[in-house]
């Protein structure tokens, strides 16, 4: 019985595809730029991106024996990087807010953000305030997607989101994580998530309308 099992085990091992190589000496040259580019849009500052890439390489080097060659070196490095970025969001979440973030603060109700956009009393309660309702954006929106100036403005708008809203937004759109994962990693409830998602969208929309449509 034991011999048969061992034979099956050996067969399984023999039919496995060739292992991927691991060459730490050429990591920086081969993957430095792509890891950096991946990180750049997911954090606020270039220095943060540099640090995260460096941490990724150092952690990979330390754990290079755990690389089993089942996936490529590149996939393995990207997985380490993704975990580092999520850690970075989590750490930022616990940092005290700066003054400008406090003024546009977070999940709390009653900071005036929603009240500025929507009427908070009367028969039309919950409907747009005339001054803040969305304007018409015209027909050629798809052209904007090819326009570098537009993408630069969009990036700047994301940068101005409060920390938590920004973390939610980036995990959702740039890391393609699902809601349950985002809630778990950032330690928030689904209803916190919906509030943050909504406010991010309202804020980005308004920021684009102000800075891009008015040009």
CB of 59 to other proteins, least distance (A): 12
Distance CA 37, CA 70 (A): 25
Residue 38: CB atoms within 10 A of its CB come to 19
Residue closer to other proteins (CB basis): 17 or 55: 55
d(C-alpha 64, C-alpha 24), whole Å: 8
Least gap, CB of 105 to other proteins (angstroms)? 18
Whole-number minimum distance, CB 67 to other proteins, in Å?
14
Residue of 61, 64, 55, 62 lying closest to 83 (CA atoms): 55
Q: Closer to other proteins by CB, 8 or 28: give it.
A: 28
CB of 50 to other proteins, least distance (A): 5
CB-nearer residue toward other proteins: 13 or 125: 125
Cβ contacts of residue 12 below 8 Å, gap of 6+? none
The residue (of 39 and 163) whose beta carbon lies closer to other proteins is: 39
Contacts of 39 (CB under 8 A, 6+ apart): 48, 49, 52, 53, 81, 85
Residue among 141, 161, 156 nearest 92 (CA):
161
Q: Which residues contact other proteins (rule: CB under 8 A)?
A: 24-25, 27-29, 32-33, 35-38, 40-41, 50, 53-54, 57-58, 61, 114, 117-118, 123, 125-128, 133-137, 141, 144-145, 150-151, 154-155, 169, 172-174, 179, 190, 193-194, 197-198, 200-202, 204-205, 208
Instruction: Select 167 or 193, whichever has its Cβ closest to other proteins.
Output: 193
């Amino acid at each position: 019985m034991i011999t048969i099992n061992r034979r099956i085990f050996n067969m399984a091992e023999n039919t496995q595809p060739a292992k991927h190589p691991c060459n730490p000496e050429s990591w920086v040259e081969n993957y430095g730029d792509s890891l950096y580019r991946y990180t750049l849009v997911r954090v606020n500052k270039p220095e943060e991106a540099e640090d995260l890439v460096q941490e990724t390489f150092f952690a990979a080097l330390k754990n290079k024996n755990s690389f089993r060659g089942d996936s490529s070196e590149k996939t393995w490095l990207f997985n380490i990087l993704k975990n580092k970025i999520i850690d970075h969001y989590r750490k930022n979440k616990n940092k005290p807010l700066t003054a400008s973030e406090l003024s546009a603060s977070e999940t709390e109700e009653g900071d005036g953000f929603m009240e500025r956009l929507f009427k908070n009393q009367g028969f039309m309660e919950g409907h747009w305030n005339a001054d803040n309702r969305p304007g018409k954006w015209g027909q050629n929106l798809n052209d904007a997607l090819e326009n570098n100036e537009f993408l630069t403005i969009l990036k700047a708008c994301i940068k101005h989101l409060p920390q938590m809203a920004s973390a939610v937004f980036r995990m959702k759109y740039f890391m393609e994580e699902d809601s349950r994962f985002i809630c778990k990693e950032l330690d928030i409830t689904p209803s916190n998530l919906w509030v943050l998602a909504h406010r991010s969208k309202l804020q980005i929309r308004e920021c684009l309308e102000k800075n891009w449509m008015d040009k």
